[in-house]
Amino acid sequence: MKRAFRIYFPFINAGMQETATYRVNWIFYILGSVLGCFVSYFIWHAVFLSGEGETMNGFTLPQMIVYIFLIFLTSTMIGSDAAWAVGEEVRDGSIAMRLIKPVSYNATFLFQELGNKLLTEMFLVVPLIAGLEIVRTILVGSLQFSVVNLLIYLCSCVLAYLINFFFNICFGFIAFVIKYLWGANMMKNCIVGFLSGAIIPLSFLPETLGRIFMILPFASLNYTPVMIYMGVYQGAELLYFLGLQVFWALFFWGLSKLLWVISVKRLSVQGG
Amino acid sequence: MKQIKRLFRIHRIFVAQELKRMMEYKGDFIVGVIGFLMVQCSNLLFLWIIFNNIPSLMGWSLNEVVFIYGFSLIPKGIDHLFFDNLWAIGHFTVRKGDFDKYLTRPVNTLVHVMFEKLQIDALGELVMGIALVCVSLPQLSIEWSVLKVLLGIAAIFFATFIFTGIKTITAAVAFWSKRSGNIIYMVYMFNDFAKYPVTIYNEFVKNLITYVIPFAFTAYYPALYLLTGENPLYNVGMTVLLSAALMSLGVFVWNRGIRAYESAGS
Amino acid sequence: MIQVENLRKEFKKTIKEPGLKGSFKSLFKPKTERVVAVDDISFEVPKGEILGFIGPNGAGKSTVIKMLTGILTPTSGRCTINGKNPTVNRKSYVKEIGVVFGQRTQLWWDLPLRETYGVLKEIYEVDEKSYRERMAFLNETLDLESFISSPVRTLSLGQRMRADIAASLLHSPKVLFLDEPTIGLDVVVKDNIRRAIEQINRQEQTTVILTTHDLADIELLADRIVMIDKGKNVFDGSVGELKTRYGQMRELNFVTDSTDPESALSYREHFSLDSEDVSVKREGSSVKVRFNSEAVAVSDILAYTLATVRVNDISVKDADIEEIIRRLYKQGVD
């Protein structure tokens, strides 16, 4: 046991050291993104000041603040490079290499990304949530934070990540058809961003539109976890939306497997 | 004069090349532009939905906000079109050791870097900005004069160099730290504040984007002048002054950076 | 023509302590130390000479070259070409030199090769007539015609190297700096490039400074060698002088029918030699014996070999420069 530890520890050590150097660079990136959040905050602050009454479409200002920062946190946590990675492999042909390896295509990439995320997320989740709740408590005057909500939120995030991951894998297969993945990626991110409530809470949209968006898989990525955290979804509604997340995760997982089989057939016909 | 003509001849070759590439990969170009337009459209959708809920944003009407927003895209787009190569310096060029070749050529390194690339995708940004300005203009009762038009054009020209100056400074940091790509990204984030009227922010933010990282002078203040005709000396004059100051600072930091430049490996 | 006087370059390196604790410490309170990469180097290069610049990895060779090409600023000392100093006026200095980096290209990845030369023409302000003559000459010497319309990114390594060399010569520089120009190339291409360099040097009197690990380059091209080790200039002289001073190693080659010549021939015991002074390598029926001619005379070792085994063919030659350099790199120069 001790021997195994001595063999593997240097790798973990090296990995963490690499992340430590890379970390400084990453910090600036996160700071930049958090700044974007603050822009959002200030605009909403001005919006609420310009409006009448305490609430807008069901949100009070403190709730809006929580929403903005949580959406940011959730987006960071569930983000996935899967589309890009798959696209690259299709482009340079190395996707053929995966055929040879007797490992599940999805699994290797999934665990790799999870590993990366675990370390970086630790640094983000705690300070952000702590800071947010402190501000919220001050603004509202009473403690709104609920551990239960936090825990269910985290579970929902895991589901959301799985949906995002498999969706991205499926999207990556488009690289077989479109050459310029960068533009397509930008379009995807934009549309998904909007549909997931990252730009504006879905409840601000006209009734019918909002309801359609809620059922689409993208709302499950961002809007659902945040609503859970804020305690908006309770009881039966909560179970419904969690169930919806599970459904979409399974759907995209299945779709990715199907697309994989089709691609394999296509590759063998074309001869790589 | 001969020197400037020479530099433009060099630039022309790269421009021609980029146009050729665009023709060859028309699909890529179109997808890129559409993708970009989509991002802008979602921002506009956001504005439209907001204004469905409030009569005015701290006293600003939808048209005014759209005007300022569109105006902000124009200098940003021009800078993005011509000087995008500075991003590459911060992200890859110095780190990978590819900067050496610039130093072995008898051209000013900064000019060389800037002229080497034309980012044609940025046309999307530019077109959107112009479109938004055109759409909102008829609704706004602006009194036009020859002076206003001239100052407006001057403001756009100089505002472009506020972007370029800031980009040069942050890119040059890479000469010391090997990579500064994300620093450029972070500083550029402040520009998102400048797309909206600065009066909606609190004093701290307002001062930050007016005096510290003066993106406010790329959109709000010049646009304010066009809308109200007031204070051209401050609203447009400061834009000119700041762009000159930032470009000078950029050149200074860049040259210092080259002296400290350590090249890479063997 | 090229004067290097007391050139010195120091770098500030951050010291990273080993282990996890170390790397976190270096994030917050980095400790720096001064590393002297180039320590007081002086030499001169007359016009038209081909200088071979050698030294082990990390010796400071590339740092010297980078100072000579205007990329790095010296900490102290100076280098000049015909009196021009790169730290004083980089642009004027750089016009007189051409640089080829073996490991990186100077060309624009997406431009067709022809366009690249068009841009360089403007950058170096070459007039139309000279440009046309030059391109014709370079085309002929380096055989560019077959790929001059292709984008640079589609060229093979050999083609790219030739293109890079042509690019560096377009403006008829007085000095050509070549940093590992034959790296990764096959034998035929290497030969062509060496011939091209030699032709240009002969026809145009272009001074050439050649940094290389390929010692055949040195042997075939260099008039003179400067060797750098640990930042210091440790040898400055011709190839012949190098061989005379350090080239005691000789090579004895013979072909034998004997099934086990190595056990029959025990040079070490017979001549009481150190392992340094003799080594035997057998490939099939050919045997190669490297020996120190100061420890054992050629005639003695010849006689012993002929007496001990049946020899069908035998020859003695100078150890090649590689052997000399290898020992110098390993032991340092005493």
CA C25 to chain centroid, in Å, comes to 40
Spell out the long-range contacts of A132-138 with Cβ–Cβ below 8 A and sequence spacing 24 or more.
A132/A65, A132/A66, A132/A69, A132/A70, A135/A65, A136/A62, A136/A65, A136/A66
Bridge-based pairing of strands C207-211 and C31-45 is unpaired
Phi-psi region of B108 (alpha: psi -120 to 50; beta: other; left: phi over 0): beta
Q: Cβ distance A50 to B61 under 8 Å?
A: no
CA distance B150 to B153: 5
The ipTM estimated for the assembled molecules is 0.85
Contact C27 A23 (CB under 8 A): yes
Cα distance from B57 to chain A (closest Cα, Å)? Answer: 6
> Hey, of A17, A19, A23, A28, which one would you mutate to test binding to chain C, going by the most C CBs within 10 A of its CB?
A17
**What pLDDT, on the 0 to 100 scale, is given for residue B266?**
43
- In three-state secondary structure terms, A71 is helix
Q: What's the mean pLDDT when you consider all of chain A? A: 79
Quick one: how far is CA C32 from the chain centroid? 32
Q: Can you give the pLDDT at residue C294?
A: 80
Q: Biggest alpha carbon distance in chain A?
A: 68
Q: From B29, which residue of chain A is nearest by alpha-carbon distance?
A: A183
B55, A183: Cβ pair inside 8 Å?
no
Q: From the CB of residue B56, how many other CB atoms can be counted at a distance below 10 Å?
A: 12
Strand partners, C8: C76
Both structure tokens of B128? 């959107």
Please indicate, yes or no, whether residues C235 and C192 belong to a single structural domain of this protein: yes
If pLDDT is split at 50, 70 and 90, which confidence band does A21 have? low
* Residue-level pLDDT at A10: 56
Q: Do C69 and B98 touch (CB under 8 A)?
A: no
- Residue A113 within a domain: yes
Count Cβ atoms below 10 Å from residue A53 Cβ, excluding itself: 7
C-beta atoms of C23 and A17 within 8 A: yes
* C231 plus C267 within the same structural domain: no
Tokens of B221: 């203040």
Alpha helix locations (H) across C37-81? 61-68
Lookup result for tokens 């420069």: C321
Q: Containing domain of residue A234, as a range?
A: 55-270
Distance CA C38, CA C61 (A): 8
**CATH classification at residue C89:** 3.40.50.300
* C186 inside domain: yes
Residue to mutate among C64, C104, C211, C228, with most B CBs inside 10 A, is: C104
CA of A42 vs chain B CAs: smallest distance (Å)? 6
Give the tens place of pLDDT for each residue, A131-150.
888 888 887 777 777 888 88
Q: How far is the alpha carbon of C122 from chain B, nearest alpha carbon, in Å?
A: 6
Domain assignment of residue C101, given as a range: 44-243
Q: Is C106 on the interface with B (CB under 8 A)?
A: yes
Q: Which residues pair with C249 in a beta bridge?
A: C292
C84 lies in some domain: yes
Contact C106 B262 (CB under 8 A): no
**Record: contact A20-C19, CB cut-off 8 A:** no
**Residues C119 and C257 placed together within one structural domain of the fold:** no
Is residue A6 situated within a structural domain? no
Q: C259 with C166, same domain?
A: no
**Quick check: is C51 in a domain?**
yes
On whether both C106 and C176 belong to a single domain, the answer is yes
Residue B10: list chain C partners with CB under 8 A. 119, 122-123
Q: Which residue of C has its CA nearest to A10?
A: C19
User: At A81, which amino acid appears?
Assistant: D
Q: Would you call C27 and A24 a contact, using CB atoms and an 8 Å cutoff?
A: yes
pLDDT tier at C60, thresholds 50, 70, 90: confident
- Among A158-172, A175-189, B150-164, the least confident range: A175-189
Asked if C24 and A20 come within 8 Å (Cβ–Cβ), the reply is yes
- The predicted model gives C72-86 an average pLDDT of 89
Q: Are residues C121 and C170 in the same domain?
A: yes
Cα–Cα distance for residue pair C322/C214, rounded to 1 Å: 9
**Closest CA–CA distance from residue A8 to any residue of chain C (Å):** 14
At which of C202, C221, C243 does a domain end? C243
- Structural domains of chain C, count: 2
CB B90 within 8 A of CB B184: yes
Q: Which tens digit of pLDDT belongs to each residue from A158-167?
A: 899 889 988 9
**pLDDT in the model for residue B157:** 94
pLDDT of the residue at B218: 93
Reported as a single tens digit per residue, the pLDDT across C6-51 is: 888 888 777 666 655 655 555 566 677 888 888 889 999 999 999 9
A10 and C CB contact within 8 Å: no
Per-residue confidence (pLDDT) for residue B123, from 0 to 100: 87
Q: What is the average pLDDT value for chain C, to the nearest integer?
A: 85
Note whether C96 and C119 are same-domain residues.
Answer: yes
- Reported as a single tens digit per residue, the pLDDT across B13-71 is 888 888 888 888 787 788 888 888 888 888 888 888 888 888 888 889 999 999 999 99
What does the DSSP 8-state code read for residue C112? Answer: B
Confirm or reject contact between C295 and chain B (CB < 8 A).
no
Distances in Å between the Cα of C132 and the Cα atoms of B11, C121, C129, C270 are 22, 10, 5, 67
- Which residues lie closer than 8 Å to B211 by C-beta, 6 or more apart? none
Whole-angstrom distance, CA of residue C118 vs CA of residue C124 = 10
- Both C202 and C71 in one domain: the answer is yes
% of residues, chain C, pLDDT over 70? 92
Q: What is the mean pLDDT of chain B?
A: 89
Residues of A in contact with C23 (CB under 8 A): 16-17, 20-21
Domain assignment present for residue A158? The answer is yes
* Of C94, C111, C122, Cβ closest to residue B104: C94
Q: Is A111 exposed, middle or buried (0-12, 13-18, 19+ CB in 10 A)?
A: exposed
The beta strand positions in chain A, using DSSP E, are: 55-56, 59-60
Q: Alpha-carbon torsion A86, A91, A92, A95, what sign? A: positive
Is residue B3 within 8 angstroms of chain C, CB to CB?
no
Single-letter amino acid, residue A208: T
Residues C207 and C256 in one domain: no
Best C122, C128, C213 member to test B by mutation, with max B CBs in 10 Å, is C122
Q: Residues in chain A, how many?
A: 272
The pLDDT value given to residue A272? 45
Indicate whether B255 pLDDT > 50: yes
Closest by Cβ to B104, choosing from C62, C70, C111:
C70
Cα–Cα distances (Å) from A205 to A36, A244, B52, B155, C24, in that order, read 22, 21, 10, 37, 48
- The CATH number that applies at residue C280 is 3.30.70.260
State the Cα–Cα distance between residues A197 and A213, nearest whole angstrom: 9
pLDDT one-digit tens code per residue, C215-248:
888 888 898 999 888 888 888 888 888 877 776 7
Question: Domain total for chain A?
Answer: 1
Pairing of strands C224-229, C50-54: parallel
If we measure between CA atoms, which residue out of C157, C39, C170, C35 comes closest to residue C97?
Answer: C170
Domain boundary among C208, C243, C278: C243
Give yes or no for a contact between A249 and A225, defined as CB atoms under 8 angstroms apart. Answer: no
Q: Are residues C278 and C225 both part of a single domain?
A: no
Summarised one tens digit per residue, pLDDT across range C263-308 is: 888 888 888 888 777 888 888 888 888 888 888 888 888 888 888 8
The pLDDT assigned to C26 comes to 56
Instruction: Report CB contact under 8 Å: B25, A200.
Output: no
> Could you count the other beta carbons within 10 Å of the beta carbon of residue A18?
11
Interface check for C70 against chain B (CB to CB < 8 A): the answer is yes
Distance from CA of C30 to the nearest CA of B (A): 13
Domain presence at residue C27: no
CA angle B214, B218, B224 (to 5 degrees): 105
Q: In Å, how far are B153, C2, C165 from C205, measured between CA atoms?
A: 55, 14, 16
pLDDT tens column, C312-324: 898 888 766 677 7
Q: Contact at 8 Å (CB) between C33 and C239?
A: no
* Residue whose entry in the numeric block shows the structure tokens 């759209």: B66
Range 143-202 of B in CB contact (< 8 A) with A: 179, 181-183, 185-186, 188-190, 192-193, 196, 200-202
Q: Can you give the residue ranges of every domain in chain B?
A: 2-260
- Residue A24 domain-assigned? no
In DSSP notation, chain B reads -HHHHHHHHHHHHHHHHHHHHHHHTHHHHHHHHHHHHHHHHHHHHHHHHHHHH-S-BTTB-HHHHHHHHHHHHHHHHHHHHHHTHHHHIIIIITTTTTTHHHHTSSS-HHHHHHHT---GGGHHHHHHHHHHHHHHGGGS-----HHHHHHHHHHHHHHHHHHHHHHHHHHHTHHHHS--HHHHHHHHHTHHHHTS-GGGS-HHHHHIIIIIS-GGGGTHHHHHHHHH---HHHHTHHHHHHHHHHHHHHHHHHHHHHHH------
Burial of C204 (0-12, 13-18, 19+ CB in 10 A): middle
Position with higher pLDDT, C151 vs A123: C151
pLDDT 10s digits, C119-139 = 899 889 899 999 999 999 988
Rounded to the nearest 5 percent, the helix, strand and coil shares of chain A are: 80, 0, 20
